[in-house]
Amino acid sequence: MSTYSRLGSFLLAGELTADPIGRVQRGLSIVGSAFDHHWLVRTFSEELLQAGLASKLGEASKLLPQLSGSKAFGQGYRIEAGAHPHVACDYVPGRTLAQMIEKAKFEQIPLGVDHALSVLQGIAQGVIQLHSKGLSHGLLTPHSVWVSFEGATEILDAPYSQAIRQVLPKSPVTKGSLETYLRDMGGNALQQDFFSLGSILYELLTFEKLPVMAEPAFAASKATLKAAQEDTPVPPEILELLKRLMGVGQTFESVQAFSTEMDHVLYDGDYSPTTFNMAFFMHTLFREENDRDGAAMKAEQADNFAAYSSEADSIHASRPRSEVGEAEDAETTRVSKKGLYVGGIAVLAVVAVLGFFALKPKGESEEFIKMRTELAKIQAQQAEKEMALAGEVQASQDKKNKLQEQLSKTTSAAEQAKLEQQIKEEERKKQELDQKKADLKKQQDETRAKAQQIAQATPALPKPEPPPRIEPPKPAPVKQEDPRPAPVQESPKPAPVQEVPRPTPAVTPSPSAAGPSVVQETSPQPLSKAQPIPPARARQMRFEIDRSHSVKVKVFVDAQGKAQKVTIISGVEGAWGFNEAAIDAAERTTFTPATRDGKPVAGFINMEYIFGASGRR
């Protein structure tokens, strides 16, 4: 049995990092003598505590309901006061962005521009969501950001960052350590967050911290892609974004203006940031740490905690309810094997991709392979852009609803006029977002059409090559062959395809409609369907316990069988957690990818989750 140290409701299993704020540790909770849940536990430095941070954390707990349900931040927060205040959230295998940068620099592993933009995109989505809710961060640094081994990013300290910012003037050591990310922006919270974001981007591109005393314009102009081990200037469109974030030239006056420019850099430029590429980078960089953490977590789940259970019972019985944030009621039944499971899936996806290219058809030209690879990247970019737009639409709608609620309560004519103007602005923004969605839909249709053209052209190989043309389905579906639908069974028919067009090339339309010249397509299918976790809030509040609740989702599945984006088609309104539970289940599900002419491609599948009485499936 391993040895653990007690901290409030948690047993600390191992320290992951120490930074200017304090320490981040992997912790766990128990029920009786059995393992319950893994947590990421943040403790604070003595300097911050002496400056009065503990008294500020109570205010931070009030923000938890506003931040719940967003993957841009951590989930399941608990804020516990006492002699040693600490904050915990659900554990996701990974490391802080500061650790990622330091290790990549030490190991001399290049951090490409696409990786830098992938991280920036994740942080930016969090910043946009914060400001859309009328909040700000105020202290954004690489220590604030958690990068999972799957390649996703979260702003972990969003609930309590303002509490730290308030006591920073009384904490000179901590303030000095974080000074490179802070500038006097005249009290403008949005510009402060933009500056911090620019400082992080500078560090991701150069592996160097932005000099505290240097003018941002000068530092940016001298920046080169050292992180990518290239002694070349920063690409113009990225350099322009970097300067504007740091307040040089035309600054971003709103999150909408920033979001528009981000879209331009991410989707119209020469780089293709994807979560998959980031996951591959993280698994390469932290291979040993990931294996070690996984083995330790597996052992912890099997431990007997009888020696700690009585201590836990006494703590829960004696601790005042006021010491725990509202997130105490968040679900605690989530299985912590999720991190290990999805981490393994990411590795399998990497292996599948490598296997596909290693076993690609010998008769197929490199041109076709390159074209399909580029199309796959474009489809992934478009899917991520669609996800970002969906987030903006939801944030705008939330803000509009909040404004309308305020309008219904106010009696001041001046305030009413102001609120009506803000509501009109949100309506105008929605129209812009709808136009963006329409443009994106057009681009996606064009991409699909191009993919179909390539698929139709690909079979035109010399006659000696038909057998290899049947092989592509083998590599990617190492464990996906059994569920794969009809295309494999129809594979014996290609012989007539090669022979018929040769003697009568002008009569190719004459074969029967069932002939193999017709493009054969299949949709993605669930391979291992994850069950949704009944939302804790709905159970505790006994929300409509006599009804069943249906949530329908649309899942974008990439060519490796991994869910890249989940969109709600129809769900349950309100902050009950049904929609989030369905999205989480869809993301944990593995799929056999869609196919076109027997080749794995990206595609969509609709799924439905039914929650029964008391929020149970």
Q: What is the 3-state secondary structure (H, E, C) of 521-577?
A: EECCEEEECCCCCCCHHHHHHCCCCCCCEEEEEEEEECCCCEEEEEEEEECCCCCCC
Tell me which DSSP letter residue 249 carries: S
CB environment 343-374: b (16+ within 10 A), e (fewer):
bebbebbbebbebbeeebbeebeeebeebbee
From residue 59, give the alpha-carbon distance in Å to each of 39, 130, 596: 22, 16, 54
Q: In the chain, what is the straight-line distance between the N-terminal and C-terminal CA atoms, in Å?
A: 35
pLDDT given at position 384: 61
Give the model's confidence band at 374: pLDDT under 50 very low, under 70 low, under 90 confident, else very high.
low
- What is the rounded distance in angstroms from the CA atom of residue 218 to the CA atom of residue 241? 15
Among the listed residues 309, 401, 441, the one whose alpha carbon sits nearest the alpha carbon of residue 33:
309
Q: What is the DSSP string of 275-287?
A: HHHHHHHHHHHTH
- Tell whether the model's pLDDT for residue 615 goes beyond 80: no
From residue 409, give the alpha-carbon distance in Å to each of 133, 289, 420, 614: 19, 53, 13, 33
The average pLDDT across 200-214 equals 91
Among the listed residues 288, 20, 55, the one whose alpha carbon sits nearest the alpha carbon of residue 149:
288
- What is the rounded distance in angstroms from the CA atom of residue 516 to the CA atom of residue 514? 7
Comparing 83 with 537, the larger pLDDT belongs to 83
Task: Show Cβ contacts of residue 61 under 8 Å, excluding neighbours closer than 6 positions.
Answer: 79, 159, 324, 325, 326, 327
Give the model's confidence band at 393: pLDDT under 50 very low, under 70 low, under 90 confident, else very high.
confident
Comparing 356 with 522, the larger pLDDT belongs to 522
- Tell whether the model's pLDDT for residue 190 goes beyond 70: yes
Query: Of the given ranges (131-135, 517-521, 549-553), which has the lowest mean pLDDT?
Result: 517-521
- Tell whether the model's pLDDT for residue 397 goes beyond 50: yes
Which domains can be identified in the chain, with CATH numbers? 5-94+286-331 (3.30.200.20), 459-507+518-617 (3.30.2420.10)
Comparing 420 with 318, the larger pLDDT belongs to 420
Comparing 617 with 382, the larger pLDDT belongs to 382
- What is the rounded distance in angstroms from the CA atom of residue 204 to the CA atom of residue 213? 19
Comparing 108 with 503, the larger pLDDT belongs to 108
- Tell whether the model's pLDDT for residue 351 goes beyond 70: no
- What is the rounded distance in angstroms from the CA atom of residue 597 to the CA atom of residue 368? 14
pLDDT given at position 409: 82
What average pLDDT is seen over the chain?
78
Tracing tokens 């049947």 back to the chain, one arrives at 470
pLDDT given at position 290: 92
pLDDT given at position 394: 73
Query: Of the given ranges (21-35, 220-234, 325-339), which has the lowest mean pLDDT?
Result: 325-339
SS3 at position 471: coil
Give the model's confidence band at 310: pLDDT under 50 very low, under 70 low, under 90 confident, else very high.
low
SS3 at position 362: coil
Cα atoms in the 13 Å half-sphere on the side-chain side of 552: 4
Query: Of the given ranges (27-41, 216-230, 433-447), which has the lowest mean pLDDT?
Result: 433-447
SS3 at position 88: strand
pLDDT given at position 267: 78
Query: Of the given ranges (158-172, 183-197, 363-377, 525-539), which has the lowest mean pLDDT?
Result: 363-377
pLDDT given at position 439: 82
- What is the rounded distance in angstroms from the CA atom of residue 201 to the CA atom of residue 235? 13
Comparing 179 with 473, the larger pLDDT belongs to 179
- Tell whether the model's pLDDT for residue 23 goes beyond 90: yes
For residue 321, which amino acid is it?
R
pLDDT given at position 380: 62
- Tell whether the model's pLDDT for residue 311 goes beyond 80: no
Query: Of the given ranges (130-134, 156-160, 207-211, 372-376), which has the lowest mean pLDDT?
Result: 372-376
- Tell whether the model's pLDDT for residue 458 goes beyond 60: no
- What is the rounded distance in angstroms from the CA atom of residue 406 to the CA atom of residue 336? 40
- Tell whether the model's pLDDT for residue 527 goes beyond 70: yes
- Tell whether the model's pLDDT for residue 481 goes beyond 80: no
- Tell whether the model's pLDDT for residue 601 goes beyond 90: no
- Residue 531 contacts residue 560 (beta carbons within 8 Å): no
Radius of gyration of the chain (CA): 26
The whole-model pTM stands at 0.55
The average pLDDT across 295-308 equals 89
From residue 323, give the alpha-carbon distance in Å to each of 57, 73, 158, 164: 10, 22, 19, 18
pLDDT given at position 462: 43
- What is the rounded distance in angstroms from the CA atom of residue 436 to the CA atom of residue 441? 9
- Tell whether the model's pLDDT for residue 487 goes beyond 60: no
Q: Which helix (H) or strand (E) holds 153?
A: strand 153-155
Give the model's confidence band at 496: pLDDT under 50 very low, under 70 low, under 90 confident, else very high.
very low
Using CB atoms within 10 A of its CB, is residue 492 exposed (0-12), middle (13-18) or buried (19+)?
exposed
pLDDT given at position 365: 52
Cα atoms in the 13 Å half-sphere on the side-chain side of 523: 9
pLDDT given at position 461: 42
- Tell whether the model's pLDDT for residue 271 goes beyond 80: no
Range list of β-strands (E), 388-543: 521-522, 525-528
pLDDT given at position 565: 85
Tell me which DSSP letter residue 434 carries: H
- What is the rounded distance in angstroms from the CA atom of residue 353 to the CA atom of residue 611? 36
Task: Show Cβ contacts of residue 161 under 8 Å, excluding neighbours closer than 6 positions.
Answer: 137, 138, 139, 140, 144
- Tell whether the model's pLDDT for residue 155 goes beyond 70: yes
Give the model's confidence band at 507: pLDDT under 50 very low, under 70 low, under 90 confident, else very high.
very low
Give the model's confidence band at 510: pLDDT under 50 very low, under 70 low, under 90 confident, else very high.
very low
From residue 110, give the alpha-carbon distance in Å to each of 115, 229, 389, 402: 10, 6, 30, 45
pLDDT given at position 419: 85
SS3 at position 351: helix
Comparing 58 with 270, the larger pLDDT belongs to 58
pLDDT given at position 367: 58
- Tell whether the model's pLDDT for residue 401 goes beyond 90: no
Comparing 222 with 99, the larger pLDDT belongs to 99
- What is the rounded distance in angstroms from the CA atom of residue 142 to the CA atom of residue 199? 10
For residue 604, which amino acid is it?
F
The average pLDDT across 393-419 equals 82
Rounded (5°) CA angle 345-350-352 = 90
- Residue 179 contacts residue 139 (beta carbons within 8 Å): no
Query: Of the given ranges (245-254, 436-445, 496-505, 571-580), which has the lowest mean pLDDT?
Result: 496-505
The sign one gets for the Cα dihedral 207, 210, 216, 221 is negative
Using a pLDDT cut of 70, give the percent of the chain over it. 75
- Residue 163 contacts residue 57 (beta carbons within 8 Å): yes
